[in-house]
Amino acid sequence: MKRIVTILLVLLSGVVTGYAQQREKTVDYQAVIKEAFELYKDDKSGKNADYIPFLAAVNPDMYGIVLATKDGKIYEIGETKYEFGIESIEKVFTLCMAMELFGDSVILEKIGADQTGQAFNSIPAIEMAGRKPANPMVNAGAMATTSLITGYYGKATMWEKIDAYFDKLAGRDLKVLDELYQSEAATNVHNQAIALLLKSYGYMYDDPLVACDVYTKQCSYGVNTRDLAVMAAVLANGGVNPLTKERLVKEKYVPKVLAIMGTTGLYETTGTWMFNVGLPSKSGVGGGIISVVPGKYAIAVFAPPLDKAGNSVKAQKAIGYIAEKLQANVYLGK
């Protein structure tokens, strides 16, 4: 009798496992992102970033969603081809590049990994963090991270190396939006002041104004929603581009990058975001947000109007809906 029960349990276990696997395979991602798109397409909350003239002029009604799986399947809806400024989302991938060059312990020592609780361009936050950059996802930490890279390569080849890495992440040649770059370069005095302050405290690793300019140029990359989803899917796929199959980030560094995204990716509102949605994410004032579901897929949403912290209002709502619908919250353990 015991043997019969054991056999039945094994058979039942196989049926349940097979059902679960089949259920995973038949998730209709396109239907889910369509639902999210339709739910929020008429939402008029927030406003474009107005301190950068180029961003202020972007059509606030544009809205696109892309989900990219770890095996390279792409699901998209809405405005997914328009090229907008990557802005602070670049910080994630500059961090990846720096980790590849220097390792994670150097990042922790020379930049930091703690939330500031302040705005992304806060100068008091530097003082409060012990005169350190705090983390790579705020402007101070991003410029310090960039200075590691520019100092390593030198003026002759630094942009060529950075550009080549970002192209590999997107799986295509990305171009800097010159109008955006010129617009930002003409208005980035505050960032220059941050860079010089960090230099005085010993936390810039190359010429601070060079690092500030390169950081500004990185923020001016033109990407579409599909590009961002593919770039984020590199992290969902353990550091390998799901389209080109090229390893771009060592697997051991991916959890470190995701941890920083999970603590400060949406600036001072990250805690609320993780409480409600539970996905490591990164926003940019160009209107994009990326979210990563480790080992499964990445989501990118573009919608220019922002909340007061600089995060796309519509993108947050759409990703929140998708995450709940797909039970994607990383703390669920599924």
**Which amino acids are annotated as binding site for substrate, given as ranges?**
88, 139, 184, 191, 215, 267, 285
Residue 102 backbone phi and psi in degrees, to 5: -120, -15
Residue 69 backbone phi and psi in degrees, to 5: -85, 165
Q: Which residues are annotated as a binding site?
A: 88, 139, 184, 191, 215, 267, 285
CB-based contact 90:330 (threshold 8 Å): no
- Reading the block at residue 136, the tokens are 């790579």
CB-based contact 120:138 (threshold 8 Å): yes
DSSP assignments along 185-243, one per residue: HTS-HHHHHHHHHHHHTT--SS-HHHHHHHHHHHHTEEE-HHHHHHHHHHHHTTTB-TT
- Reading the block at residue 260, the tokens are 């920083």
Rounded to an integer, what distance in angstroms lies between the CA atom of residue 44 and that of residue 305? 8
Rounded to an integer, what distance in angstroms lies between the CA atom of residue 291 and that of residue 236? 9
Give the dihedral of Cα atoms 273, 223, 87, 116; nearest 10 deg: 30
